[in-house]
Chain A
Amino acid sequence: MDFGLSEEHLLIEQSLRGFLAENVPIERVRELREADCPNDRSIWSALAELGFAGVLVPEGQSGSGLSLLDAALAAQALGHGATPSPFLASGIMAPTALAAAGGSAADAWLEGIGSGDLVMGVAVTELFSVREDAGVQQRDGALHGSAMMAIDACNADLLLVAIDSETFAVVKTDAAGPEITRLATVDATRCTSEVVFGGVQPEAVFEDAGEAIRRMLEAGRIALAADVLGACEAMIEQSVAYAKERKQFGRLIGSFQAVKHMCSEMIAELEPARSLLWYSAHSFDAMPDETPLLACHVLAHLSEIGREIASVSTQVHGGIGWTDEQNLHFWFKRIANARHLLGGPEHLRDQAAKLQGFAPAA
């Protein structure tokens, strides 16, 4: 028994971090803020070439068939770099659902996703939070209604849309597809959209897909938690570095206890969360019975400590931390957006309670 990362894990983490630091530095992220969609296909192609588009796609289908822990470490690196990419939808959630649902259509799409040629967004928000009366219905084969806060949809080729907890459909995003409008959020590093269906014909509808949808959400939640962890890590690193160079009252601010304690409190929350993340991601492949509970808890927990770390690390920087010029806010906002992307902490904890019979199942 060995609770920790292997050499191979560390290699994935380090190689991706190195690549991102060189090729997608924060200046590049800043540029992408002006783009129509931050999910720049050239970044995604490069990530695909490194094998990350198909990290969860089986080896026979042009993927690398790795574990969710590997994928989570990649998500963590992307969060650390505040890197825009459709990794959450196209790298994690869609392939998980398709692989679990199976069938020839799913296989063909997996193949395309694995090579990075096909990007797939996901519209799943209504599974856990219905706002503005959104929701998708199927009538006479066609899809009607709308979905809010679809993830990685606007620069995608296909969209996976959850109709209810047992059914999902796949639609093309071409001219005959749904109307996809990017919704500007605080977070310039992630793509979220509103999707209006208006009678779109789906490419396929997967029924009795409750298990596939559940696994998709679990994988997505764990990967999103990893993304938040990476973002927190980046914010703490920047804070500690700043505390070692900024002087006030003739002293480095890091020698003031108030500043020291802010930094130690942040790391004291983050390090154990890393252990929980490793275990949760590992459970997805090795102990799937444990995953439903862990996926809720790991994301809810990282959402909570993420908000605190985002706030405190900004405070460590003083006024400059609050400016646009200092890049810190890109991470602050990425963490803020992630908090509700796959279910807010209150919802996740309610789910966790239901799973254990502490609350009546809905």
Chain B
Amino acid sequence: MDLEFDASYDDFRSEVREFLSKNKPPKTFGMSEEEKPSRVGWLSLLIEHGYWARTVPKEYGGYGDSPDLLKTVIMDEEFNRVGVARGLNAQGPSMLVPTLLTHGSEEQRKKWIGPTMRGEIIWCQGYSEPGSGSDLASLQTSAVEDGDDFILNGQKIWTSTADMAQMCFILVRTEPDAKKHAGISYILMPMDSPGIEIQRLETMSGSIGENSFNQVFLTDVRVPRANVVGKRGEGWKIANTTLKHERSSLNSNAEGTLVRLANLMQKETIGGVPAMASPLYRDRLMKLQARALTMKHHGMRMLTCSLKGEPAGVAGLIVKLQNCQLSFDMAALALDVMGELGALYDHSKYERERGYWQALSMFSLGLIIGGGTAQIQKNIIAEHGLGLPREPKPAKA
């Protein structure tokens, strides 16, 4: 255990601080086309200083430094302190880029990684289908080779940000006769290809929060064969790399949320008395603080593992399950503190913090389901983490 900051790190911290005091981040920081110029400008500036894409090699458009846990922690702390996101929390940077770094061809890495990190290209993840959610490998969207292209047909669903994305990393069945897991390929599909139709699916969180949720219909969509990542038919293995990154990228800054919750409890009054003065609410807050601290330090342990290239084992598999539930439970306390006003939404009168807690409650519920449900996570933890026997195969009907 060595958590000392030596003097050079103090310099690094001042440097980050100075950067943040001199440079104004864009007001909004989402994935829409209107936000693109400010997004790309800001992310490029961050990469230039090494605050984003820090360990992505230079030749792929990153900063090209070696991993340094302490600097990562310092950057997170400093960006959190001023309430600015350090980079773009989207599926491209968090899932596709690590996948390409492991499995992509040299050409694919050169072409896609830089623009993705700079926010020039927004990606969506085309995995789930109406009949294939948890049982993802049963997916049916087909891709048939035709000259230099594949022709794709089928339907994807629950595709977050498909309506804003320029590209999609999509799973398709290229070998219809192969066994379930063996016939899948991983393809990079431009979203402006003819034959793609996107239909927005409204979510329970409505207009608040920036998530968008879609169905994507594919009719004879042509995608170049060069866009297959890894080998044809090996998509399942590659998808699993992506999913691993999806699960570990959810380090939800529980500590920041906790501070916000504590502030709410000091401000919000019930019968003229702050909620914080109630031993019942306060005890719940302290329970959540223990869990938030737990996940914060667990995050540092996971970061150490990943920077040292050591497998995190079962300790890594549990992160998504715990973080998503914690986030939901923090929102739940906030809503309970607001009591009957906790139901106000959509910028109605008396609504608190523009619906932040209501949105968080619903959004974190979505995250408990998305990227593999809590139940599927528990199966993975039991089977891969604890070595318990696999589910027996169902009998053929």
Contacts and interface: CB of A to CB of B under 8 A. Distances in A.
B314 A3 contact: no
A266 to B, nearest CB: 9
Interface string A313-357: 000000000000000000000000000000000100110110010
B392 A272 contact: no
B379 A260 contact: yes
Nearest to B379: A260
Interface string B351-394: 00000000000000000000000010111011101111111100
B297 A278 contact: yes
Interface stretch (A46-54, A91-99, A248-256): A248-256
A282 to B, nearest CB: 5
Contacts of A272: 294-295, 297-298, 315, 318, 322
A326 B249 CA distance: 42
Residue among B73, B293, B378 with the highest chain A CB neighbour number at 10 A: B293
Nearest to A278: B1
Nearest to B377: A264
A70 to B, nearest CB: 10
Nearest to B315: A271
Interface stretch (B46-54, B217-225, B232-240, B280-288): B280-288
Given A264-B381, A264-B385, A251 B392 contact: yes
Contacts of B304: 1-4
B70 interface: yes
Given A4-B305, A297-B293, A358-B276, 9 more contacts: A1-B3, A243-B388, A255-B391, A264-B321, A267-B386, A286-B4, A300-B286, A358-B285, A358-B286
B101 interface: no
Nearest to B380: A264
Nearest to B383: A260
Contacts of B303: 3
A2 B322 contact: no
Interface in B290-323: 290-291, 293-295, 297-298, 300-301, 303-305, 308, 314-315, 318, 321-322
Given A254-B388, A301-B290, A346-B283, A1 B70 contact: yes
A255 to B, nearest CB: 4
B279 interface: yes
Interface string B321-333: 1100000000000
Given A3-B303, A6-B1, A260-B378, A297 B389 contact: no
Q: How large is the interface on A (under 10, 10 to 19, 20 to 34, 35 or more residues)?
A: 35 or more
B2 A264 contact: no
Nearest to A260: B382
B55 to A, nearest CB: 15
A177 B386 CA distance: 52
A230 B109 CA distance: 46
Nearest to B319: A272
A3 B388 contact: no
9 contacts: A3-B1, A240-B386, A255-B389, A255-B391, A261-B382, A276-B293, A350-B279, A358-B282, A358-B286
B322 A254 contact: no
Contacts of B282: 349-350, 353, 358-359
Residue among B276, B290, B375 with the highest chain A CB neighbour number at 10 A: B290
A303 B277 CA distance: 24
B264 to A, nearest CB: 12
B298 A1 contact: no
Contacts of B315: 271-272, 274-275
A252 B301 CA distance: 34
Interface in B1-29: 1-5
Contact of B378 (A5, A265, A269): A265
Contacts of A257: 375, 378-379, 391
Nearest to B390: A255
B144 interface: no
B321 A275 contact: no
B69 A255 contact: no
Given A1-B69, A1-B73, A282 B3 contact: yes
B243 interface: no
Smallest CB-CB A-B distances: 7 pairs: A349-B286, A260-B382, A264-B381, A1-B70, A272-B298, A275-B298, A254-B388
A240 B387 contact: yes
Given A272-B318, A282-B3, A255 B294 contact: no
B289 interface: yes
